[in-house]
Chain A
Amino acid sequence: MDFYQNAYMNLPGVSAEELGFLKQATNGLDENQLKSFFVVYSTKRKNPNDILLLAVIGFFGFAGIHRFVMGQVGMGILFFFTGGLCCIGTIVDVINYKTLTFEYNQKMAYEAFNIVKIGGQFY
């Protein structure tokens, strides 16, 4: 169990906030479920640095890709067709990329938790 709690620290671009959140989220899981949770979650989660990179592409004409990647289709379309709300939306997201990614990763943790609870174990 300790191993899989520590394995979270090797996730790329992980923050203390995310570690704390995962610790709380996986509280009710046993050892096997923790293993499954780690595998599922680490494939689903996004690295905040990747999101920052995609957001920065917005300054060069392809705004909103990061919003599509995070499943926010409406915001993605809006950003794409307005050049990231005239660059201002892009600037907001470049400042705010960590919170945005954490919001997405929380959703993914919830999904991974449900998948594991329903019975997806690799044994």
Chain B
Amino acid sequence: MIKLVKNNFELIFWVAALTSLAFTNPTQTHFVLCPLRLMGFTWCPGCGLGHSIAFLLHGDVKALLHAHWIGIPALLILMHRIVVLFRRAIKAQQPVDENAAFSPTANRRLPI
């Protein structure tokens, strides 16, 4: 179980991040995780990105563009990355044939 979480850390993180953005209300102020904000900086190149994706997931395009235009490509890129990682995770679950040479389907982790 720990191994499973460790191997798929990135996948779990992105999925958790996007689902939590889908369930937050972007119009309210809330607890801030951003390390730059906590250090006292008022601006960073990604500011408004979280709002932007949350607006996109709620379907509010006008507010999205007001928050940060990069929200649309960001969501697409993250979705693509999640699909790639998810495919990998499924492949790693398949049983490994020790005697098989490298085959196109054998691009997977060994269960050590």
| Nearest-Cβ distance from residue A5 to partner chain B, whole angstroms | 15
Q: Is the CB of A100 within 8 A of B10?
A: yes
Tell whether B15 is near chain A: CB-to-CB under 8 Å: no
Q: Is the CB of A75 within 8 A of B70?
A: no
Q: Is the CB of A82 within 8 A of B81?
A: no
Closest to A106 in B: B107
Instruction: Mark interface residues in B29-51 (1 if CB within 8 Å of A CB, else 0).
Output: 00001111000000011110110
Instruction: Enumerate chain B residues within 8 angstroms of A25, measured Cβ to Cβ.
Output: 101-102, 106
Q: Is the CB of A20 within 8 A of B7?
A: no
Q: Which of A72, A75, A82, A92 has the most CB of B within 10 A?
A: A82
Instruction: Mark interface residues in B75-103 (1 if CB within 8 Å of A CB, else 0).
Output: 00110110000001000000010111110
The total of interchain contacts (Cβ-Cβ below 8 angstroms) comes to 95
Where chain A touches its partner, the secondary structure class is helix
Tell whether B59 is near chain A: CB-to-CB under 8 Å: no
Contact partner of A29 (CB less than 8 A), chosen from B7, B45, B78, B101, is B101
Segment 7-42 of A: residues with Cβ below 8 Å from B: 16-17, 20-21, 24-29
Residues on B facing A (Cβ under 8 Å): 6-7, 9-10, 13, 33-36, 44-47, 49-50, 70, 73-74, 77-78, 80-81, 88, 96, 98-102, 104, 106-110, 112
Q: Is the CB of B110 within 8 A of A21?
A: yes
Using A83-B45, A95-B9, A107-B107 as known contacts, say yes or no to A88 and B102 having CB atoms under 8 A apart.
no
Enumerate 7 A-B pairs (CB-CB under 8 Å) in ascending A order: A17-B110, A27-B99, A27-B100, A74-B77, A82-B74, A96-B9, A100-B10
Instruction: Enumerate chain A residues within 8 angstroms of B73, measured Cβ to Cβ.
Output: 77-78
| Nearest-Cβ distance from residue B65 to partner chain A, whole angstroms | 16
